[in-house]
Structure 1
Amino acid sequence: MAESRASKAYASSPCMAHELDPAYLDPPEQAAGVMRWRRAMRAELRGARSTLGVAARQDLERALSEHLHTLIETRFDGARGQVLSTYWPIKGEPDLRPFMATLHRAGVTVALPVVEQKASPLTFRRWTPEAKMIRGDWNIPVPPPEAEKLTPDIMLAPVIGWTDEGYRLGYGGGYFDRTLAVCHPRPATIGIGLTQARLSTIYPQPHDIPLDLIVTEAGVMADRGAH
């Protein structure tokens, strides 16, 4: 006897959604199931991230920055002569602003992403420590409109969760995926997150684009170029 639709409905509270597999839903329901699962995982992983104390967070960010610096030096020739886009930290994301300042002092051109139009690819404006930042989308500080627009050669992307295949669980806005879909040539992409945020899958959808590398406080955790 075929399993009824009712039997496939969620039988547990949202906080238990990480135990449910959207792959078991009928095809028309899978996309909605994945969205529900991702919302629950974002809340769960952000909650875990928020429990870090100040000292633990500083140690984590220091270790992550050291691994990232080594990667940029060895894999990308220190980003010399290249544009490296990073991010301004929000909602407990690893704070790379000291790393950004170090890159700038070394002569690297640093950029930050800007949402200029909703549901569209990101643009990138040049950042320097002296830049007079303004409030952008989600009240995230961004360089002012007169800052030079740039095309990144290397793009850092904060991740809430990540997989060994390089897939990124973000905030759900889709901005990085839209941007990568129109970038030709595509920049090298590096996800920045926590080791504890490793996931077995994010149930990739057709619009999801895997990143090239994932870096955490434990080092390079995923490297698609190594396969």
Structure 2
Amino acid sequence: MSDATIEEAKAALRAAAHKKRAAFHPSLRDEAAKAAAAHFLDTIPLRRDEVIAGYWPIRDEMDVKSLLGRLMDTGQPVCLPVVLGDEQPLELRLWEEGAPLYEAGFGTLAPAEEAPRAEPDVILMPLLGFDRHGTRLGYGGGYYDRTLASLHKRPRLIGFAFALQEIDQIPRDAHDVPLDAIVTEQGVRHFEKAPVT
């Protein structure tokens, strides 16, 4: 499949995935987020020194704010992404206890500019869709792709999504890094590495 064909297919999948996620009733979202957070804490092993890159949810993404708070309460280092520019990787800033958060692009919040930078061991990723191979359907801006390419080590990639966001198959480009696991309100699923399609 050519790059242009892959991008066309992904654009169609994105449009459908946006609608599907937006249609998930708001009254069910909080319970789903709580269940997903519990599954993550029960299932994903973390070393105390591992840096976790979270995200501040926008629109109808699964809300991980309470999970990030619980991780910080146990002393787990947490960082949040900042959008610096259209063609740049995300900057990951440590969120230190009690530090305020500021507008960080696209409606997200992150620590102030003077906050320490971090290289994460684990990245919690928002997404529009995922498939059974761990392929992630993002928003198409390439921010996470550029960020992963800029890191010195490959972190574990853990997607957070509602179960209804699963898609039969998402075409994968050579630069698309698959998820290691997906967390939904139904549990945690780990993925084997699949070939590029």
Same fold (TM over 0.5): yes
Q: Which residue of 1 aligns with 2:132?
A: 164
Per the TM alignment, residue 222 of structure 1 is displaced from its structure 2 partner at its CA by: 3.5
Cα distance in structure 2, aligned partners of 1:110 and 1:196: 28
* Native 8 Å contact 1:121 1:178 kept in 2: yes
Cα distance in structure 1, aligned partners of 2:192 and 2:145: 17
Tell me which amino acid in the other structure corresponds to 2:123.
Answer: M
1:118 and 2:90 correspond: no
Cα distance in structure 2, aligned partners of 1:139 and 1:58: 20
1:51 and 2:19 correspond: no
What's the TM-score once normalised by structure 1's chain length? 0.79
1:210 and 2:178 correspond: yes
Percent identity over the alignment is 35
Query: Per chain length, whose mean CA-contact separation is higher, i.e. which structure has more relative contact order (CA < 8 Å, sep 6+)?
Result: 2
Question: Which of 58, 68, 71 matches 2:43?
Answer: 71
Question: Which of 128, 132, 142 matches 1:174?
Answer: 142
Question: Which of 68, 72, 83 matches 2:51?
Answer: 83
Which has the larger share of helix? 1
Deviation sequence 1:138-197 (CA, Å, 0-9, x none): 232221101111111111111111112211100001111122223222111111112111
Deviation sequence 1:26-85 (CA, Å, 0-9, x none): xxxx3223222222221211211112223211111111111111123xx22xx4111111
> What is the DSSP-based 3-state SS (H/G/I as helix, E as strand, rest coil) of the residue aligned with 1:224?
coil
Per the TM alignment, residue 126 of structure 1 is displaced from its structure 2 partner at its CA by: 1.1
Name the Cα RMSD after superposition: 1.7
Tell me which amino acid in the other structure corresponds to 2:99.
Answer: A
> What is the DSSP-based 3-state SS (H/G/I as helix, E as strand, rest coil) of the residue aligned with 1:139?
coil
Larger Rg: 1
Q: Which residue of 2 aligns with 1:34?
A: 6
Cα distance in structure 2, aligned partners of 1:197 and 1:57: 13
What's the TM-score once normalised by structure 2's chain length? 0.90
Q: Give the direction of change, closer, same or farther, for the CA distance of 1:192–1:221 in structure 2 (3 Å limit).
A: same
Cα distance in structure 1, aligned partners of 2:189 and 2:95: 28
Per the TM alignment, residue 129 of structure 1 is displaced from its structure 2 partner at its CA by: 5.6
